[in-house]
């Protein structure tokens, strides 16, 4: 095999590693994209591609400068990926009124960078196994949480009528989370009245409902709170006359 053929084969292999890293990262990012998270398909794919490229540069980027008195640490460039992911992950985690959001997305990005590094280093089966494990964790454990763990709790339906203002949904959701309830789903309806919006919450009953109702009733932007107990929500939402 000539030197040109060997070099061409090497470059094709490296390109294949980068491509594989992007595909594996995209599989993880697709799950976040479906759930409408801040970091989704594009972010995960870019992290996977960048991590693989950093590893390849660490391994092959400094071959031309090697000499009898020159040593190169092949892990130095790749190690900086961990620092970079720390900044990205920190930007995805939000703490507001004791409610933490974005941890799973940030952890997924961290895993994605590791998969990219493994693929870039030529550890193909390790990268594929890590991706499969990540997908199993995201989908499988989510199923366990929703169908098994939460099925042991009662379901509470809550209807909130409030002024149609920016930030009201986040305000109500924060109060619900602080009260110890887990929000399963949210539905918004705008036909309840002029300038008003109806928000329908389906929650798991892991706390006392009355303290939450009291807190919501004290909020200035909330017009009415209608707990529906353990029954399905009514299709029509009527306001009491003021």
Domain extents in the chain: 3-148, 153-227
* CATH number, domain 153-227, options 3.30.70.260, 3.10.180.10, 1.10.3720.10, 1.20.1050.10: 3.30.70.260
> Residue 114 has what pLDDT?
93
Residues 135 and 55 sit within 8 Å (Cβ to Cβ): no
CA separation for the pair 189, 215 (Å, rounded): 22
Predicted confidence at residue 242, as pLDDT, reads 37
CA-to-CA separations, 117 to 33, 38, 43, in angstroms, rounded? 22, 23, 16
* 3-class secondary-structure state, position 204: strand
Give the angle subtended at the CA of 86 by the CAs of 82 and 90, to the nearest 5°: 165
**pLDDT digit of tens for each residue in the chain (242 aa)?**
677 777 788 889 999 999 999 999 999 998 888 877 777 889 999 999 999 999 998 888 766 666 666 666 777 777 788 778 877 777 766 555 445 567 788 888 999 999 999 999 999 999 999 999 999 988 888 777 666 655 555 677 888 888 887 778 888 888 888 887 877 778 877 666 677 888 888 887 656 778 888 888 888 888 888 876 444 333 333 333 33
pTM score of the predicted model: 0.59
With beta carbons less than 8 A apart as the criterion, state whether 119 and 130 touch.
no
How far, in Å, CA of 27 to CA of 131, rounded? 8
147: left (phi over 0), alpha (psi -120 to 50) or beta: alpha
Beta 94-96 vs 182-189: how paired, if at all?
Answer: unpaired
Burial classification of residue 231, based on how many CB atoms lie within 10 Å of its CB (0-12 exposed, 13-18 middle, 19 or more buried): exposed
Nearest 5°: CA angle at 99, between 141 and 227?
A: 85
Measured distance CA(60)–CA(82) in Å, rounded: 20
**Sheet of 222-227: strands edge to edge?**
182-189, 196-205, 154-163, 222-227
């Amino acid at each position: 095999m000539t030197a040109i053929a060997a070099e061409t084969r090497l470059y094709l292999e490296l390109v294949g590693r980068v491509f594989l890293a992007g595909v594996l990262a995209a599989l993880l990012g697709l799950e976040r994209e479906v759930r409408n998270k801040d970091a989704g398909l594009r972010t995960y794919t870019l992290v996977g591609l960048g991590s693989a490229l950093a590893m390849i540069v660490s391994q092959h980027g400094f071959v031309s400068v090697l000499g009898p008195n020159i040593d190169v640490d092949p892990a130095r460039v790749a190690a900086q990926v961990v620092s970079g992911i720390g900044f990205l992950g920190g930007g995805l985690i939000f703490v507001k009124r004791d409610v933490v959001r974005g941890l799973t997305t940030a952890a997924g990005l961290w895993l994605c960078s590791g998969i990219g590094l493994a693929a870039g280093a030529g550890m193909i089966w390790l990268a594929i196994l890590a991706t499969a494990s990540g997908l199993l964790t995201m989908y499988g454990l989510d199923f366990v949480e929703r169908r098994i763990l939460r099925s042991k709790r009662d379901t509470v339906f809550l209807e909130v009528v409030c002024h149609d203002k920016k930030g009201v949904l986040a305000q109500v959701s924060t109060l619900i989370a602080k009260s110890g309830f887990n929000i399963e789903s949210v539905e918004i309806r705008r036909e309840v009245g002029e300038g008003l919006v109806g928000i329908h919450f389906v929650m798991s009953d892991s706390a006392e409902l009355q303290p939450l109702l009291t807190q919501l009733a004290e909020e200035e932007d909330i017009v009415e709170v209608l707990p529906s107990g353990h029954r399905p929500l009514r299709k029509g939402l009527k306001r009491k006359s003021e």
